A and B are shown apart, each in its own frame.
Chain A
Amino acid sequence: MQDEPLTVRRRDLLSLVGAVAGSAAVYHAMTALGFASESRYQGPIRLEGDPKGASVLILGAGLAGMTAALELRKAGYKIQVLEYNNRPGGRNWTLRGGDTFVELGGFKQTCAFEDGLYLNPGPWRIPYHHRALLDYCKRLGVALEPFIQLNHNAYLHASRAFGGVPQRIRAVKADFQGQISELLAKVTEQGKLDEVVSKEDKEILLLALKSWGALDRDYKYKASLAASEYRGYAKPPGGGLSAAPMPSEPLELSEILKSRLWRYLQNFANYNFQTTMFQPVGGMDMIGKAFAREVGGLIRYNARVTEIWQNDRGVTVTYVDTNNPAQPQKAVADWCLCTIPLSILSQLPINVGAAMKAAIDAVPYAGSVKVGLQFKRRFWEEDDAIYGGISYTDLPIRQIAYPNTGFNKSGRGVLLGAYLFEGANCYEFTAMPPDERVGRAVEFGSAIHPQYKDEFENGIAVAWHRVPFTLGCSGDWSEEARKQHYRNLCEIDGRILLAGEHASALPAWQEGAILSSLDAIGRLHERVIKT
């Protein structure tokens, strides 16, 4: 197998080098633009100056709305919050045993998870560079624990490669890296990179490839103890008389290429998914609950907004109690910060200018589906030695994510048995009744973990296009729409301004919701102080 890739592909290699140079160039461009650098968050917002009793009506008690409520109240504003749900948090949400969820269409699910087990149907991980969210977690006393994005012992799975047998991430990564290093070393030695690599650098490059790719002294990547230190052993080192390790056999480069398993490696390289990532201890909704401990008294729950109307003196919002929708009620304030998702806001009567209205109408909402599955035992740990992290597959379920807490305990556990984001399968899963989504997740997941069939107990499925309070997962800006409408969405229109992940450059991230809110209230405060 070692010869085959070597005889091949100068052309492929050159395109590879091109790709590498290309992405380095992209990275530098991104750094220059500030995308890949430090957070925009500069520490707690300071709203100085007296708002002289000005009032702000906030629509939505998700993270954007509650951030604004917390900070504006502190600055001296009179605050009222209207929230459609009967709980704080919005998409910051966790389902536990006993919770019920009724999706659009009337399908009701009751979560049957054992105490202490949960599913985060929405956001579930926090990058270390989401400094605003992390700061609020610290200020509000939300305990965090690691979210494991990369577990080398989790699987990559291609249904039509390697006989359908899932491969350890560790092995795919080592074999891909090793054989690419071997190819590069070969052309480097042949002098084919002499035009682009100086003589001095050439020596260092060869050393680096050897170290990075686990190559032997002839710059070959092959079954060896050195390679096994990266990809894992056929028989790992032990003790006593049987201590000697035995090397494992690498996967062929050609097979890895054809399998497309390499495409999952970006999930560990991407800035948004780099270690360290976090999750709140006990469920993502610990953040929403912590905010509500501060501002809960300002929130009117079960309030469905039906109209937003402004004049030059203030804003009047009409809403109904979802338990008594026949009786419209009104809330008035000097200003309105609206965090209602655009999928819903676009359907409401609102008298903003044409530019903001066009922006509100310009953003469709992405689909996403998550399925939580409870099993009798943590077989992924007991049988497969997978402690946290994510397996990726080309099956419609796309991912299986293992709990990042409660490690090495006996008893039940909950897996994220499917996580789809956009694409055809996401719509197909949304179109199923929830119990079928669960059934399909079990069926597909069995191809990766055959233990599913014996160990499965119950599950719950959330398809975001059917979530009554968002009608979708997150704002799905096209580049073109962003160019045309983004600024108009964020500008203050009379006495109304918008916030939420949809009004940020971090769509679908909680950090986007908070940064958007902080930016909006900063501008609002400036306006109020000046007038």
Chain B
Amino acid sequence: MMRQATSGVKQAAGLALAALVLQLIWPALGADDPPALKSRTFSSGYRFVEMSGEELYVNVCRGCHMVDAMGASGAGGYPPLVANRNLEASGYAIDLVLNGRRAMPSFGEMMSDDQIAAVVNYLRTHFGNSYEDMVTAKDVQGARR
């Protein structure tokens, strides 16, 4: 990610391993994304109506971070969220979703505290991440500035 961890090499190695494992489970990049057409949700206004972390990931985050959370790169890139150490500090994840950073848009005005907590919890317990401390809507509310 943007933050340079001191354990960068170790992190990269872990990431590569996670990517390898995930590729066995998830289809190759560019293949049909698995969530079925029927599960698609369309919001009716400016804000998202999806409530669960999974629904929010599939309908919003996936646009850039991709179905397998491996991110993508072109002239610039979107970071992988797989086994991502930056997710360890839940406050950092909340801040990024709320306020955005560089190519990451801010979702503070498009998602409620509950939705942001749900998607942060989903990311921190999926894609090779297994952090047990759940964040709450109250944490998100406290982080709004």
Which residues on A are within 8 Å of B, measured CB to CB?
Answer: 84, 104-108, 304-305, 340, 342-348, 361, 364-367, 396, 423-425, 427-428, 430-433, 436, 439-440, 463, 465-472, 476
Q: Which residues of A contact B60 (CB under 8 A)?
A: 427-428, 431
A428 touches B40 (CB 8 A): yes
Q: Which residue of chain A has its CB nearest to the CB of B111?
A: A424
8 Å CB contact of A84 from B43, B66, B72, B75: B75
A364 with B106, Cβ < 8 A, contacts A424-B48, A431-B62 known? yes
A436 touches B77 (CB 8 A): no
Q: Which residues of A contact B40 (CB under 8 A)?
A: 428, 432, 436, 440
| A470–B77 alpha-carbon span in the complex (Å) | 10
Q: Which residues of B contact A425 (CB under 8 A)?
A: 42-43
A428 touches B41 (CB 8 A): yes
By Cβ-Cβ distance, the 6 closest A-B pairs, closest first, are A468-B74, A106-B30, A344-B76, A424-B43, A430-B63, A104-B72
13 contacts between A and B (CB under 8 A): A105-B30, A340-B75, A344-B76, A347-B77, A364-B100, A367-B105, A425-B42, A430-B63, A430-B64, A433-B33, A440-B40, A466-B64, A471-B103
A502 to chain B, nearest CB (A): 13
Q: Does B45 contact A (CB under 8 A)?
A: yes
A361 touches B41 (CB 8 A): no
B111 to chain A, nearest CB (A): 9
Within 8 A of A (CB), among B67-111: 67, 72-78, 100-106, 110
8 Å CB contact of A463 from B33, B63, B74, B104: B63
Q: Which residues of B contact A427 (CB under 8 A)?
A: 48, 59-60, 63, 110
Q: Does B120 contact A (CB under 8 A)?
A: no
A347 with B62, Cβ < 8 A, contacts A364-B105, A476-B105 known? no
A346 touches B103 (CB 8 A): yes
A347 with B63, Cβ < 8 A, contacts A105-B30, A108-B30, A424-B43 known? no
B58 touches A431 (CB 8 A): yes
Q: Does B47 contact A (CB under 8 A)?
A: yes
The interface residues of chain B, by DSSP majority, are classed as: loop
Chain B residues with a Cβ closer than 8 Å to the other chain, count:
40
A471 touches B105 (CB 8 A): no
B63 touches A465 (CB 8 A): yes
| A466–B63 alpha-carbon span in the complex (Å) | 7
8 Å CB contact of A365 from B32, B43, B103: B103
Q: Which residues of A contact B22 (CB under 8 A)?
A: none
B47 touches A424 (CB 8 A): yes
8 Å CB contact of B42 from A104, A366, A428, A436: A428
A432-B40, A467-B74 given; 16 more Cβ-contact pairs under 8 Å? A104-B64, A106-B28, A106-B29, A108-B30, A343-B102, A344-B75, A345-B76, A347-B103, A364-B100, A423-B45, A424-B45, A428-B60, A430-B63, A436-B40, A468-B73, A471-B103
Q: Which residues of A contact B58 (CB under 8 A)?
A: 431
Q: Which of A396, A431, A433 has the most CB of B within 10 A?
A: A431
Which residues on B are within 8 Å of A, measured CB to CB?
Answer: 2, 28-30, 32-33, 37, 40-43, 45-49, 58-64, 66-67, 72-78, 100-106, 110
B46 touches A343 (CB 8 A): no
A465 with B46, Cβ < 8 A, contacts A105-B72, A364-B103 known? no
B98 to chain A, nearest CB (A): 12
Q: Which residue of chain A has its CB nearest to the CB of B68?
A: A105
| A440–B38 alpha-carbon span in the complex (Å) | 11
A361 touches B63 (CB 8 A): no
Q: Which residues of B contact A104 (CB under 8 A)?
A: 64, 66, 72-74, 78
| A324–B64 alpha-carbon span in the complex (Å) | 25
A431 touches B63 (CB 8 A): yes
A437 to chain B, nearest CB (A): 11
Q: Which residues of B contact A346 (CB under 8 A)?
A: 76, 102-103
A471 touches B33 (CB 8 A): no
Q: Which residues of A contact B49 (CB under 8 A)?
A: 424
| A367–B64 alpha-carbon span in the complex (Å) | 11
A343 touches B76 (CB 8 A): yes
| A232–B94 alpha-carbon span in the complex (Å) | 54
A364 touches B42 (CB 8 A): no
| A260–B55 alpha-carbon span in the complex (Å) | 29
B32 touches A433 (CB 8 A): yes
Q: Which residues of B contact A348 (CB under 8 A)?
A: 76
A23 to chain B, nearest CB (A): 22
Q: Which residues of A contact B100 (CB under 8 A)?
A: 364
Q: Which of A342, A432, A463 has the most CB of B within 10 A?
A: A432
| A108–B31 alpha-carbon span in the complex (Å) | 10
